[in-house]
Amino acid sequence: MVGAPHVAALQLRRFRSHIEFASEFDRRPVAIHGPNGAGKTNILEALSQLSPGRGLRGASAEEIAGRPDPIGWFVGAELASDGESRSITVSVDLRDSAGRRKIMVDGEPSGQTGLGGLLRTLWLTPAMDRLWIEGASERRRFVDRLALLFEPTHAAAAAAYERALRERNRLFKEQRRDPSWFAAIEARMAESGAAVEAARARAIAEILTSQTGGAFPEAALQLESADESAPAGPETAEALALRYAAGRPREAMAGRSLIGPHRTDLAALYLAKNMPAKSCSTGEQKALLVSIVLAAARATARLYGAAPILLLDEVAAHLDASRRAALFDAVVELGAQAWMTAAGGEFFDELGGRAQYIALNPD
Ligand SMILES: Nc1ncnc2c1ncn2[C@@H]1O[C@H](COP(=O)(O)OP(=O)(O)OP(=O)(O)O)[C@@H](O)[C@H]1O
Ligand SMILES: [Mg+2]
């Protein structure tokens, strides 16, 4: 990992509405403003491609390719820190690679885990405003994004777990009974599942010790499982494997796997009010999310000497002026290169000269 990387240059080609975009940046926050449809979120989405996964919209490579002639797309970034410089490019050529992302680090082919080890990224989007209200899967995704800050192999472990889970579910669906077949799949699920649980628990623990209060509410966070046989904390691969074996008859009845980290949820409480997050006001729910993201960034800075790149899409929209000012102060104090968007430049008044600005106009 580069000491304290920031994005020093960004280049996009055929990335959604950006046929060609190139700009250079220093380590200060980046404030992007312009009318609806100007391409603000698209820039954040492009940056989110520089970390493992499908980015902040969860979009397929085809969706991202610039229309009307979608042949592929390219995101290139120079990361700079303390005189050191690294280059990452992520690109897709729809004509010859069936939508597979091609990742290059310093000119050499790399994989998703390579990305996770190079650049830590965390985002908040308007779609996440409903995080506390919606189903558990979105919250799990959020927890996994947090876990990736502290464990670059988390994305690979989560993907391995998902693959094995699908195989086990298929056995149930096809009403197979072969114990050795189950045991082989469960061994893989247990190994990757225990790693997933451990990384999630670690992330939540780091965040809980990094909340500072102030303008953003302190959250009590707890990982919970929908499965009653689950222990309170993370478990060893051996213990998880035993639970899988014991759970088979019940799960065969249900026709699917009911045990393991795919049943985990994140419970949050607005501590000062002793109020579950889902019962808080819209602005309070947003403030809780900001609070968690800032705490995660603080923990990352403490542990690795650098805050993550923050992508805060329309973060100002639900925050009142005093909380907005507090957010800007927190981001500047963290030394995080936070990329923030808003429909108008006036949303960044309190940020003033502490940031660099991009004004976008629609075509
Ligand atoms: N694959 C694509 N090819 C070309 N254009 C696209 C593609 N996907 C989306 N767009 C366009 O990109 C434009 C900019 O989208 P973006 O979400 O970045 O806007 P924005 O500046 O964040 O606007 P808002 O303020 O409404 O959030 C939209 O007009 C959309 O139609
Ligand atoms: Mg937008």
Q: Which tokens sit at 293?
A: 């993201």
Q: Best substitution site from 12, 19, 41 to test ligand 1's pocket, by max atoms within 8 Å of Cβ?
A: 41
Ligand with the closest atom to the CA of 40: 1
Contact (Cβ atoms closer than 8 angstroms) between residue 88 and residue 79:
yes
Residue 319 is predicted with a pLDDT of 87
Residue 126, C-beta contacts closer than 8 angstroms, at least 6 positions apart:
313, 314, 317
- The total of structural domains in the chain comes to 2
Q: Which atom of ligand 1 is nearest to the CA of 66?
A: 3
Report the CATH number that the domain containing residue 71 is assigned in CATH: 3.40.50.300
Predicted local confidence at residue 1, as pLDDT: 41
- Indicate the residue among 303, 322, 338 that finishes a domain: 303
For residue 314, is it within any domain?
Answer: yes
Instruction: Determine the pLDDT at residue 114.
Output: 82
pLDDT tens, residue by residue, 326-359: 999 999 999 999 999 999 999 999 999 999 999 9
| Å from CA of 314 to ligand 2 middle | 7
pLDDT under 70 in the chain at which residues? 1-3, 97, 363
Q: Write out the residue range of the structural domain in which residue 311 sits.
A: 1-120+306-363
Residue 346 forms part of a structural domain = yes
Ligand nearest to the CA of 92: 1
Q: Residue 2 has what pLDDT?
A: 39
pLDDT score for 98: 75
Nearest 10 degrees: Cα torsion 229, 231, 236, 240: 10
CA dist 137 and 78 (Å) reads 33
The confidence score (pLDDT) of residue 3 equals 52
pLDDT at 213: 79
Q: Which of 266, 282, 303 is the last residue of a domain?
A: 303
Query: What CATH number does the domain containing 257 carry?
Result: 1.20.1050.90
Identify the residue whose C-alpha is closest to ligand 1 atom 28: 37
The burial class, CB within 10 Å (0-12 / 13-18 / 19+), for 240 is buried
Classify residue 240: in a domain, yes or no. yes
